[in-house]
Amino acid sequence: MKFDEQYSGNVFIKSHPNYEESQAVIYGMPMDWTVSYRPGSRFGPARIREVSIGLEEYSPYLDRELDEVKYFDAGDIPLPFGNPYKSIDLIEEYIDSLLKDGKFPLGMGGEHLVSWPVMKAVAKKYDDLAIIHFDAHTDLRTDYEGEELSHSTPIRKIAEHIGPKNVYSFGIRSGMKEEFQWAKENGMHISKFEVLEPLKEILPTLAGRNVYVTIDIDVLDPAHAPGTGTVDAGGITSRELLASIHAIAGSEVNVVGADLVEVAPVYDHSEQTANTASKMLREMLLGFVK
């Protein structure tokens, strides 16, 4: 026991203590203030770290162990309550520094809006960037009741930023009619309801591309992820999401960053969703960070 060193209990399991030596950095973005329905995802990253202690370090899916990847847990980015503008800027600035240091960014939300500044930062580095997006919701609004920084807008923002043709959404089962129309008219890919089959068709077309993967946990059915802000029946199983992550890991795309967002512990009565999220993150670390 070395109790005279600073305690580092609540980090994602097997995190590496040294930033410089790490290939990837895992970090939280504890923001939920633009949420229109049920807030609470600000506590998601902390709970995911806490339950990660229950994970095995070996993936029988990928036949790889956490020891084979070096990742640093940077904690949560301190975001100013109720101020989405400053929050967005702080996140972008942080990702810029990670990318400059050559780290693979692996983010934990927080509401989905946090992915916008991350993707924007990543797009600065990789000009051929494509987005693979798993979600129940389109997130393609231009604004929510007049507010453009909303949990309903991040995919619209990145689609306009890098071009809708470079964005691939899967599992979508909720949105406004106008959002689906905009996607269609602008050449953005949306797989309604389905995930794994269309993903397997798309992946070969992205071979060699730099890809950012963003997972809204509500792409899972509420049976598999009750602990999230906006539950929506008719989603996929956790088996299918695992298989989708593995499909990407086994493809020829080059994953350059990823996140998993919208875990809300207060709705997650037996920590089922947080446990599932922590397993997905393990598979993302083992499958995406080469």
Considering the complex, what minimum distance in angstroms separates the CB of residue 240 from a second copy?
9
Q: Give the residue with the Cβ less far from a second copy, 69 or 130.
A: 69
Considering the complex, what minimum distance in angstroms separates the CB of residue 49 from a second copy?
8
Considering the complex, what minimum distance in angstroms separates the CB of residue 272 from a second copy?
4
Considering the complex, what minimum distance in angstroms separates the CB of residue 211 from a second copy?
23
Buried b (16+ CB within 10 A) or exposed e, 174-209: bbeeebbebbeeeebbbbeeebbebbeebbeebeeb
Considering the complex, what minimum distance in angstroms separates the CB of residue 130 from a second copy?
23
Considering the complex, what minimum distance in angstroms separates the CB of residue 115 from a second copy?
17
Q: Give the residue with the Cβ less far from a second copy, 165 or 239.
A: 239
Write the CA distances from 177 to 141, 159, 220, 261, integer angstroms.
Answer: 10, 17, 22, 24
Burial of 61 (0-12, 13-18, 19+ CB in 10 A): middle
Q: Convert 50-65 into a string of H (helix), E (strand) and C (coil).
A: HHHHHCCCEECCCCEE
Q: Give the residue with the Cβ less far from a second copy, 57 or 252.
A: 57
Q: What angle do CA 199, 190, 283 make, to 5 degrees?
A: 40
Q: Give the residue with the Cβ less far from a second copy, 67 or 252.
A: 67
Is residue 118 within 8 A of residue 257, CB to CB? The reply is yes
Query: Does a cis peptide bond (omega within 30 degrees of 0) precede residue 227?
Result: no
Q: Give the residue with the Cβ less far from a second copy, 17 or 187.
A: 17
Considering the complex, what minimum distance in angstroms separates the CB of residue 209 from a second copy?
27
Q: Give the residue with the Cβ less far from a second copy, 42 or 157.
A: 42
131, amino acid identity: I
Is residue 132 within 8 A of residue 168, CB to CB? The reply is yes
> In sequence order, which residues have a C-beta less than 8 Å from that of residue 172 and are 6 or more positions away?
135, 136, 137, 138, 190, 191, 192, 193
Q: Give the residue with the Cβ less far from a second copy, 262 or 268.
A: 268
**Crossing angle, helix 44-51 and helix 272-288, to 10 degrees?**
80
> In sequence order, which residues have a C-beta less than 8 Å from that of residue 185 and are 6 or more positions away?
none
Q: Distance between CA 95 and CA 107 in Å, rounded?
A: 10
Considering the complex, what minimum distance in angstroms separates the CB of residue 229 from a second copy?
9
Q: Give the residue with the Cβ less far from a second copy, 36 or 205.
A: 36
